[in-house]
Amino acid sequence: MLKKEIAYIRKQFKLDHEKLHIYDILNVYIMKDSSEVYHDERLPFEMLDREKQELYMGNFKKLLAGELDQKLFELKLHEEAETPTRVMLHQGLVTGDPEEWHDLMLLLVEKMLTDTTYEKDTVVTFVRGQYYQPTQARKDENEESPNNEMFANPFILCSINSTEQQRKSLLFDYVEREFKYNVIVDPIIKLSSPEQGFFYPSVTDGYSDVNRVLYCSGKPNDPNLRFIEEVLNAEKTVTALEERSIFEEIVKEVAEDQLDASKIASVYEEIHQVIETHEEEEPARLDYKDVERLLTGSGVENVTAEKVERAFESIVDNKNYEIKASSVIPKFNSKSIKINTKVATISVSPQDLKYVKQVNYQGKKSILIEVDEDIIIEGFTLSTEDL
């Protein structure tokens, strides 16, 4: 599933959108103390008040927001579980019976409750519907017209939201002209900050892939592995942060103490070039041969394919492991690299890292940054010293 495909789907979640139809919504309220279903309610989505519809649409868009491999993870569904979620989701996708869909989603909630204790009262929301998208040929031509042939894609979306108690407050009653202590016991459902959820099925090359699901985490680089493995029965995932850590450990082991800022900048530039020139639909990946080429091209000495291969085996226990290129490079055209010192935090972009050096100045470690213009601090131009 590509970023542009997720963005297309997310864009449809607005009221009265001609390319989106939501048929039913099911809300399941779970009590924190007993981890049991307190109440469930299914309604046709169109029967909700418009204000409620807007709140839910905002929730769904928030759930589908974020970067791939950080908040959004495309996962392959397994079938070897005792009650495979893939089977339940697929049956829920194809059934035209709202009652059957309702029962299947409740079975999925039962899996969520197994050996799990929720810290707060929680609401699980399911919707079923379908969205429309142009045929692949039209999409490639970047044309949109009412006469374009459209594909109908049925889907199931799940959003899990915690609740919070409303604050006690003091009110002024205009009619009675008195101050009143106000206590509201009804909890607030935090639709603006979903804990996690999923969108099924995923999309591959513009077509629905019933063997995959898009898992959505509430926080970046913090997927719920128990939910992924035990509830969704999906493959384990590696976050972008974990992949970056793997890449850094491999490079450190191979390059040892040879890395300075200019070589690191060169490595990032090489990876950026790989991403920019990659023509396949699947994201660019780096194996040990690619890493050997990147390090050699960046001026790191005594690098061999065998040495990098051993580093892969040492760090990830798999010499054939492939690292997603986009996961290991900071955002290339923004100041995404932070240099933290006790004096200051300096932000630079990967392409400008080559202008930064660590030097010894008067017996102390210092940062030297090459600049083309005078430095102005609070309106004052700094004088230039000759070292």
- Classify 171 as helix, strand or coil: strand
Question: How far is it, in rounded angstroms, from Cα 154 to Cα 131?
Answer: 7
Residue ranges per structural domain of the chain = 3-162+189-236, 241-328, 337-381
| Cβ atoms 229, 92 nearer than 8 A | no
Distance CA 156, CA 89 (A): 8
Beta bridge partners of 164: 188
Tokens of 323: 């690292």
pLDDT given at position 215: 96
Task: Please return the burial class of 211, using the count of CB atoms within 10 Å of its CB with bins 0-12, 13-18 and 19+.
Answer: middle
Residue 177 to residue 271: CA distance in whole angstroms: 69
Phi/psi of residue 194, nearest 5 degrees: -60, 140
**Exposure letters 5-32 (e unless 16+ CB within 10 A, then b):** bbebbbebbeeeeebbbbebbbbbbbee
pLDDT, position 148: 58
Mean pLDDT by 10-residue block, N- to C-terminus, for the chain (387 residues)?
A: 84 91 96 88 95 95 93 91 90 94 96 89 95 65 55 93 86 86 80 95 85 94 94 91 92 82 87 87 88 90 90 91 89 83 86 85 87 83 79
pLDDT of 77 reads 93
Residue indicated by tokens 């660590």: 358
Which is nearest to 132 in space by CA: 279, 11, 237? 11
What does each C-alpha distance from 337 to 25, 265, 329 come to in angstroms?
43, 11, 10
Kindly report whether the global pTM for this prediction surpasses the value 0.95.
no
Q: How far apart are CA 97 and CA 118, in angstroms?
A: 31
In the chain, the amino acid numbered 132 is Y
DSSP three-state, residue 163? strand
105-114 in b/e burial notation, b at 16+ Cβ within 10 A? bbebbebbbe
Cα-flanking dihedrals φ and ψ of residue 317, to 5°? 60, 30
pLDDT of residue 141: 46
pLDDT at 136: 56
Output the DSSP codes for 289-350.
HHHHHHHHHTT-SS--HHHHHHHHHHHHS-TT--EEHHHHS--TTTT-EEEE-SS-EEEE-G
What is the pLDDT at residue 138? 44
